[in-house]
Amino acid sequence: MESASALELHRLEVPAPHLFPFAVGTFDSLGPLSRASFPHRHTFHEIVHVTGGRGSHVIDLHHWPIEPPNLGIMAAGQVHYWDRVRGLDGHVLLLEDAFLLDRPADRELLRRLAVERPWQVLDPAAEADTAAVFAEMLRESRARRPGMASVVRAYLHILLTRTARLPARGVPARDPTRRGSASPTPADQASRLAARFLRLLDRPGGTAVGRSVGQMAAELGVTSGYLASAVKGATGRTPGRLLRDARVLEAKRLLSGTEMTIAAVARGAGFSDPAYFCRFFRRETGISPGEFRSRSYAGVEIHHGRDR
């Protein structure tokens, strides 16, 4: 076991067990880990409202320049860090899935925004709206009056919905607030099954990548064939393709963010045979794991992948 060199996994700690699993504050009030400059991941989601600073924010190997005001959204399990940052200022919201237990639509929207538009440059109107929402969440959190959690959830819903309206960089606009009818159609059911499959792939720490599509179908209570049909219809890709993509991403996270050996990275990405992992990684990315790590350490931004 190589825990000393493994990618750090941060958990959300609240001062008492009866408090809700969320925290909101400034970068200063939430402590130095809110500005962590080393690759790490969380068991919780994080939303940052950056009002000052220079440098870049790295989310799953992609460098986003800090151009305040910015809004960043990261889902549990994503790897991120602040790179060569100076004067970082603004607000941070941390929350676990349990905080949105009764708001599944907001939970799904947060995860989708983290993938489709993780970093936004806010125009003056969007900045005014975002600053106002964070100010209200801070006020409610500090006052801790009855119903505080419900009020914060309402403001979070407003923040996510407004963020979804913002122009995305190269992503077709969709209405994430649209809800289905009371009686789900077969297409609705397939879409929900696909979303559940994607949630399995998003589990923090890459815990799903070592499993087969058949095992995941069994956990979801469906056949492999039905899962394949539902996922392909909702995402345009097969479960096998998405699982391979998840394994590649997990390997990239470990290669760029830790000093784990190639064998340990292979195990972390779901492979028992390091040699097979190296062949798989080269086939998927065009380079070896060692070369990928060398380029990452050298600060070379790497983009691989093919339209499938």
- Supply the pLDDT for residue 252: 87
Q: Is the per-residue pLDDT at 67 higher than 60?
A: yes
Distance between CA 252 and CA 245 in Å, rounded?
11
Residue 82, sorted as left (phi over 0), alpha (psi -120 to 50) or beta, turns out to be: beta
Kindly give the residue spans of alpha helices, DSSP state H, lying in 93-223.
Answer: 104-116, 124-143, 148-165, 186-201, 213-220
Average pLDDT for 182-193: 65
Tokens at residue 119, please?
A: 């970093």
> So what's the architecture of 8-165 in CATH?
Sandwich (2.60)
Distance between CA 116 and CA 195 in Å, rounded?
15
Q: Is the per-residue pLDDT at 249 higher than 60?
A: yes
- Supply the pLDDT for residue 192: 77
Listed residue (117, 64, 38, 41) closest to 301, CA to CA: 64
Distance between CA 241 and CA 197 in Å, rounded?
13
Residue 81 · residue 37 · CB < 8 Å: yes
Kindly report, residue by residue over 139-176, the tens digit of the pLDDT.
998 888 888 888 999 999 999 999 999 986 533 333 33
Average pLDDT for 216-241: 87
- Supply the pLDDT for residue 294: 87
Return the CATH fold of 186-297.
Arc Repressor Mutant, subunit A (1.10.10)
Average pLDDT for 286-295: 90
Confidence at 302, pLDDT banded by 50, 70, 90: very low
Average pLDDT for 2-16: 59
Of residues 222 and 176, which shows the higher confidence score? Answer: 222
Domains in the chain: boundaries: 8-165, 186-297
Q: Is the per-residue pLDDT at 63 higher than 80?
A: yes
Could you tell me the pTM of the whole model? 0.66
- Matching fold, domains 8-165 and 186-297: no
Residues of the chain with pLDDT > 90, as a percent, come to: 46
Q: Which of 31-40, 50-59, 170-179 has the lowest mean pLDDT?
A: 170-179
Residue with tokens 């989310």: 59
Distance between CA 304 and CA 302 in Å, rounded?
6
Note every long-range contact of 110-115, with CB atoms under 8 Å and residues 24 or more positions apart, other chains counting: 110/45, 110/47, 110/73, 110/75, 110/160, 111/45, 111/75, 111/198, 111/199, 111/202, 112/176, 113/73, 113/160, 113/163, 113/164, 113/176, 114/45, 114/73, 114/74, 114/75, 114/78, 115/75
